[in-house]
Structure 1
Amino acid sequence: MRAIHVTEFRNINDIALSDLPEPAIGPDQALVRVHAAGVGFVDGLKVQGLYQTRDPLPFIPGSEFAGVIERLGDNVQGFTVGERVMGLVWNGSMAEKAVIPARSMERIPEGVDFSAAAAASANYVTVTYALTELGKVRKGETVLVLGASGGIGCAAIQLAALLGARVIGAASSAEKCAFAREAGAQEVVNYGDPDWREQLKALTGKRGVDVIVDPIGGEIGLLAFRHMAWGGRFLVVGFASGQIPALPFNLPLLKGATLIGVDAAQLRLHAPELRAKAVAQVMAWLQSGALRPIVGGEYPLARFKEAFNALDGRAARGKIILRLDDLG
């Protein structure tokens, strides 16, 4: 089987596809023929050994998957060979076949294609957890989404709108702002403009925003914090800008605001019931048709470097997907 096989930590452009033996499965696992795998900033960091934890070498990157069950371990119940499944693992999805723990699989709802299913596996579960459990977004509140055209940003726009919030999308260009509006943002702010903070004040009537979703970090996040309403919640999802801001402690004090870290990957270890709740909510939205994940680009496996570089160059709009059936 073909796979992205990381044998040493290197830039993605220095890694080649490998032909590996089909993996064996254990009694509580399934062998899944992967049709689509999500590509995220974390994947780009992991292959270089720059993520906050280093994966033991060698490894196959990729955590978000959608595909078809080919084999089941003896202890696996509730699934059958041939079923379409989706889910989230630590690594391994950027291969034509992947070993998946049964507890990490969900059936793909009817009408949802492989790319959309893979897109929903991490970003949408993460943002659902962030907005419902941590941000506690209420109907009528104002949510500001930074990096609004990216994978997390699009998910945050869609899900905040589903929760009944007024959504302001913020991005670095007019083109990205237009994309954020297409994703469902009622208002947009271009923080490439010198007066973007004045624009934000005008949109909120100087009251500020109730919740900020920040997947980019850097100076923009720090400046955005200054525009929080009293009792606001600032959700730190990541640092796509490559810069981790230093927040002066007087700002949350003056705003009565809360800075909250969002790392859904740790939920399995620390709060599996909250992860299960977020997954169930995303699946319900998918099944009802209320949610259709935004796929910004599909790349066949042979062009995996282009997929990674689209993220690195901040060119992505929505979620980037690798099609391992090469149909993308």
Structure 2
Amino acid sequence: MRLVQAQKLGSIDDYAMVEPPVPSPANGQVLIRVAACGMGYVDALVATGGYQVKPPVPFTPGHEISGVVERVGASVDNVRSGDRVMAYSFGGGLAEYVAVPAEMVERIPDCMTLPQAAVFRINYLTALHGLADRAQLRAGERMLVFGAAGGVGTAAVQIGRILGAEIVAAASTEEKRAFAKAQGAQQVIDTEPDGWRDRLKALCGGSGPTVVFDPVCGPLFEAAFRSQAWGGRHLVIGFAGGPIPKLSVNLALMKGSALVGVDVRQLQELEPVRTRDHVDRLLQWVGEGRLCPPVGKTFAFEDYAAAMTNGISGSGPGKAIVRISEDA
């Protein structure tokens, strides 16, 4: 089989295609014939050593995959050979075959394509955990979503609508703002700092958002926190905007607001029951036609380096995939 691997982290150029044997599933593992691998900002950040948790080397990028179950190890009873599935692993996805713990594998609804399944689990689980658990979003509340055309931003827009929020989507280009509207945002706003707070206030009818969903934490971070309505919750999802910003803590007091962290990696490690409930709920919404994850740009397996570069850049709407096999 073929997979992408690096012996050290630091650059996309460190990666090369290698041909190890097909792995055998150990006890409690599922061997998947990979169809597609999601490749977004975090995937590329981990691959280049820029994430807060450094993976061991040699390392194969890609956290989310979709495909078909090839074989199962002993003690596996949630899936069987031939099932269409999605799976999560901290690396390993850019490969023709991957063995994954059974608890990280789910059958997907018939209406869900394999490319959609490869961009679904992490983004939509992050959004649901952030909005339902951390923000405790209530129907009728107004929510500002940064990076609203990206993978996790799109998930927040779609899930926010299901939960009854009024959504203002922030994005840097007209194309991305139109994309966010197509996903369900009622209002859109640019990210030009000059006069931004005034434009946001006007969109919010003179007030401000109660919830800020922020995977960017960029130049508008403090402006957004200052713009929250009383009792607001600013969700810190990630730092796609570059250097990590700082905030004067007196602002939390003055606004009666909270700065809340959302870490889906630790959610899966520390709260497996909650994770399972959320994933089941998300897949139910897919089966009911309430969620339809859009797929971003598609890359051939041989173009994995371009896919990682695209992930780091954040260009284009949606989360990209690498097409590993003809199944996708």
Pairwise TM-score range, normalised by the shorter structure: over 0.9
Aligned to 2:183: 183
Question: Is 1:156–1:213's contact at 8 Å kept on the other side of the alignment?
Answer: yes
- Give, as a single letter, the amino acid of the residue that structure 1 aligns with 2:94: M
Q: What do residues 173-196 of structure 1 show as CA deviations (whole Å, max 9, x unaligned)? A: 222212211221110000126322
Aligned residues: 328
- Give, as a single letter, the amino acid of the residue that structure 2 aligns with 1:25: P
- After TM superposition, the score normalised by the length of structure 2 is 0.96
Aligned to 1:23: 23
Structure-1 separation of matches of 2:311 and 2:73:
36
Question: Is 2:7–2:14's contact at 8 Å kept on the other side of the alignment?
Answer: no
Question: Is 1:233–1:258's contact at 8 Å kept on the other side of the alignment?
Answer: yes
Aligned to 2:89: 89
Structure 1 residue 250 corresponds to structure 2 residue 250: yes
Structure 1 residue 212: deviation in Å? 0.4
Structure 1 residue 40 corresponds to structure 2 residue 40: yes
Structure-2 separation of matches of 1:302 and 1:50:
23
Structure-1 separation of matches of 2:57 and 2:193:
44
Of 13-22 and 112-121, deviating more is 13-22
Aligned to 1:49: 49
Structure-2 separation of matches of 1:307 and 1:157:
24
Question: Is 1:300–1:326's contact at 8 Å kept on the other side of the alignment?
Answer: no
Structure 1 residue 284 corresponds to structure 2 residue 284: yes
Aligned to 1:117: 117
Structure-1 separation of matches of 2:82 and 2:323:
18
- After TM superposition, the score normalised by the length of structure 1 is 0.96
Structure-1 separation of matches of 2:307 and 2:327:
14
Structure 1 residue 327: deviation in Å? 6.8
- Give, as a single letter, the amino acid of the residue that structure 1 aligns with 2:223: L
Structure-1 separation of matches of 2:196 and 2:175:
15
Structure 1 residue 266: deviation in Å? 0.5
Structure-1 separation of matches of 2:182 and 2:265:
29
Structure 1 residue 156: deviation in Å? 0.8
- Give, as a single letter, the amino acid of the residue that structure 2 aligns with 1:151: G
Aligned to 2:303: 303
What fraction of aligned residue pairs are identical, expressed as a percent?
40
Question: Is 1:151–1:319's contact at 8 Å kept on the other side of the alignment?
Answer: yes
Structure 1 residue 326: deviation in Å? 5.4
Question: Is 1:35–1:68's contact at 8 Å kept on the other side of the alignment?
Answer: yes
Structure 1 residue 299: deviation in Å? 1.1
Structure-2 separation of matches of 1:326 and 1:148:
31
- After TM superposition, where is structure 1 displaced by more than 3 Å over at least 4 residues in a row? none
Structure-1 separation of matches of 2:312 and 2:103:
32
Structure-2 separation of matches of 1:81 and 1:327:
15
Unaligned runs of 5+ in 1: none
Unaligned runs of 5+ in 2: none
Structure 1 residue 316: deviation in Å? 2.8
Structure-2 separation of matches of 1:206 and 1:245:
26
- Give, as a single letter, the amino acid of the residue that structure 2 aligns with 1:258: A
Q: What do residues 146-200 of structure 1 show as CA deviations (whole Å, max 9, x unaligned)? A: 1111111111111101111101000112222122112211100001263222111
- Give, as a single letter, the amino acid of the residue that structure 2 aligns with 1:219: P
Distance change (3 Å), C-alpha of 1:326 and 1:247: farther
Give 3-state SS (helix, strand or coil) of 2:98's partner: strand
Aligned to 2:67: 67
